[in-house]
């Protein structure tokens, strides 16, 4: 009985660690994409105008949605 309980506890701990890693990865991806979008938005606005800004914003949205899946 004790072995079974120990196994269940180990699996629970492993599951918690996996969830934490997944959350950290999502956070890093979203923040990284936002950090890269600042200079990209400036460059897009300077060279292509509104169309470039829209493309950069759409790419940022795609990255955020994909990272949070």
4-13 tens-digit pLDDT: 776 777 777 7
Distance of CA 5 to the CA centre of its chain: 34
- The CB density around residue 64, as the number of other CB atoms within 10 Å, is 14
21-64 tens-digit pLDDT: 888 888 888 888 888 888 989 999 999 999 999 999 998 888 88
Burial of 59 (0-12, 13-18, 19+ CB in 10 A): middle
pLDDT of residue 16: 80
Q: Is 0.85 topped by the overall pTM?
A: no
**Per-residue tokens: 10:** 């180990």
């Amino acid at each position: 009985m004790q072995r079974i309980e120990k196994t269940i506890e180990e699996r629970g701990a492993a599951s918690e660690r996996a969830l934490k890693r997944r959350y950290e990865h999502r956070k890093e991806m979203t923040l990284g994409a936002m950090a890269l979008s600042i200079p990209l938005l400036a460059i897009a606005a300077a060279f292509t105008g509104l169309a470039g800004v829209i493309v950069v914003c759409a790419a940022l949205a795609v990255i955020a949605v994909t990272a949070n899946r």
